[in-house]
Amino acid sequence: MSAGYLGAVRSEFTKVRTTRLWWVLLVIMAAYVALCAGGMAAILGGLGGGANGPAIPEAQLPLLVYSFATSVGYVFPVLFGALAVTSEFRFQSLTPTFLANPRRGIVLGGKATTLLVVGAVFGVVALIASIGLGASLLAAFGIDPLLGEPDTWAFVGRSILAMALWSAIGVGLGVLVPSQVAAIVIVLAFTQFVEPLLRLAASFTDWSAQVAQFLPGAASDALVGASIYTAMSGGSAGLDWWQGGLVLVAYAAIATLIGFFTSWRRDVS
């Protein structure tokens, strides 16, 4: 027996580590998340509760600010997960990959495992960016950043889990849509445009709002437990955090399975 699953995981980690994409995306994500979280902390904290924006209780402010790690940062692990798969098709590196380990299911399992961990790393970095800047700004405006609260750290844990699952969803998308350009377009269009619009439109009627809570972004917000979307839509009762997590797991698993039986098992030429 060859190195099997453990070998596949080690190999996939080396693939991630030995090109530049991971840190380029991490740097962009950290800057983007810090900008959004810092900006929001400055606006809400600076204006204070008396401004004519939506009234957000001071106790909810910190988590709302920190949640930019996932609410704007999640696109990066999705993109990275998708690119980890599509680049194999693009550079025809599936040939040596399947020569080194012809058990294709194990290879894909190793990739998904690896990307889950990498997604968690993206989550940690995004939270460092959002909490690092957000907490210091909130404190500067005299708002308690709630860093001593267990709730805050439970939120941090759920956010890391969400980012890990987003990366796995990226793997599923990549194996479902092996064309690199198509995968990038789908990730950007869906996360930045289609889903926000759908969630907004769905919130106008009850039944559509019921369906919309199963959209991946909504499920992610439910898992994390706070986000700018839920704050704006008045915090309507959505899924429980664990239900949101299961919805994300389902997206990742279903996309990966379908992709395995379609593109991943195809002839490599």
Partner 1 sequence: MPTGVPIEFSGLTKTFGQVSAVSDLTFTVEPGQVTGFLGPNGAGKTTSLRMLLGLVRPTSGTATFGGTAYAKLDSPLQTVGASLEAASFHPGRSARNHLAVYAQSAGLPKTAPDAALEKVGLSGYGDRRVGGYSLGMRQRLGLAFALLGDPGVLVLDEPINGLDPEGIKWIRLLLRAMAAEGRTVLISSHLLSEVQQTVDDVIIISHGTLVHRGELSSLDTSDTKQVQVNAEDRDRLAAVLVDAGYQVSNLRSGVLVENADAATIGRLAFEAGIPLTGLSQKRTGLEESFLTLVGEEGSL
Residues making contact with partner 1 (CB under 8 A): 1-4, 7-8, 10-11, 14-15, 18-21, 87, 91-103, 107, 267-269
Nearer to partner 1, 20 or 55 (CB): 20
Nearer to partner 1, 18 or 52 (CB): 18
Minimum Å gap between C-beta 171 and partner 1 is 17
Minimum Å gap between C-beta 90 and partner 1 is 9
Minimum Å gap between C-beta 98 and partner 1 is 6
In 3D space, the residue among 176, 170, 162 whose CA is nearest the CA of residue 112 turns out to be 170
Nearer to partner 1, 162 or 171 (CB): 171
In 3D space, the residue among 7, 238, 106 whose CA is nearest the CA of residue 217 turns out to be 238
Burial class (CB in 10 A: 0-12, 13-18, 19+), 166: buried
Distance between CA atoms of residues 81 and 19, nearest Å: 14
Distance between CA atoms of residues 54 and 234, nearest Å: 9
Minimum Å gap between C-beta 140 and partner 1 is 41
Nearer to partner 1, 11 or 152 (CB): 11
Minimum Å gap between C-beta 104 and partner 1 is 9
Q: Which pairs count as long-range contacts for 50-58, CB under 8 Å and 24+ apart, including other chains? A: 54/231, 54/232, 56/231, 58/143, 58/144
Nearer to partner 1, 95 or 208 (CB): 95
